[in-house]
Amino acid sequence: MNRKLPDNTPKLALIGCSDILPNGLENDLTEAGYSCLSFDFSLVKLLENSTEPLDAVIICLIDWDDDRLEACEKLLGGKVFTPDIPLVAVVNEKTMRKIPRQFEFDEIIITPYSRPEMEFRLGRIIYQFRQKVSRNIIEIDDISITLDSYEVRVKDRLLSLTLKEYELLKYLASNRGRVYTRESLLETIWGFDYYGGTRTVDVHIRRLRSKIGDFNEKYIKTVRGVGYTFRAARLPVA
């Protein structure tokens, strides 16, 4: 009889693992107390519309080809989910030399792995990401936004932001990857009864970029003819 997993069982998405590591990795993870959803590389897009809450995404890169490169670019480029979910790569010594260095995975598991080390690495990265959420902290690279105290730091340097600058930054950073029009930002941050124009948004974005050192749109990207978005990508800005 199959044991029913409790509702708080950590849930993982495994990408491209069934063919390369048939049953082995998934069995190890299941025995360690995880619930696993398996996806082929061609089905990575399904994760974007999935309503299943995930604690981590594991991508198996034991082989390296164009399909895996494309999947990594989608995952790391913020086209599937935001960086609130840790991305773990399973590699071997051969593929380690082929994977581009700029691919910023949150954790690496090298095969052949020892099960205790695999469980430790995965458990640690999930715990670290959960801690960020429980402490009401948004962290993106060098930026740290502490929601309870309204503090924003860049490389541990406390910034002096106006309330509207803070609210604008928090709103965009909390919805990474989503594009907002100037009109929607104006209504959300300043309210429906604000009489100023959309240029107010542009001015505050310019000031924010200056204060956080975002001179090449590493964080806040201008979407021409539309508005702004906070980059969800883990890849460097080209």
CA 20, CA 107: separation in Å to the nearest integer? 19
- Tens-place pLDDT, residues 150-172: 999 998 899 999 999 999 999 99
pLDDT on residue 6: 44
| CATH number of the 11-134 domain | 3.40.50.2300
In this structure, which topology does domain 138-230 adopt according to CATH? Arc Repressor Mutant, subunit A (1.10.10)
Domain parsing of the chain, residue ranges: 11-134, 138-230
- Tens-place pLDDT, residues 47-92: 665 666 788 999 999 888 888 888 888 777 765 665 678 899 999 9
* Verdict on whether the full-model pTM lies above 0.75: no
Q: Where are the beta strands (DSSP E) in 5-65?
A: 11-15, 35-39, 56-60
How confident is residue 216, by pLDDT bands cut at 50, 70 and 90? confident
- Tens-place pLDDT, residues 180-212: 999 999 999 998 777 778 899 999 999 999 999
pLDDT on residue 2: 38
Backbone angles phi, psi at 53, to 5 degrees: -70, 130
pLDDT on residue 162: 94
pLDDT surpassing 80 at residue 122: yes
CA 229, CA 161: separation in Å to the nearest integer? 19
pLDDT on residue 3: 40
CA 32, CA 119: separation in Å to the nearest integer? 7
Q: What average pLDDT is seen over the chain?
A: 83
pLDDT on residue 21: 64
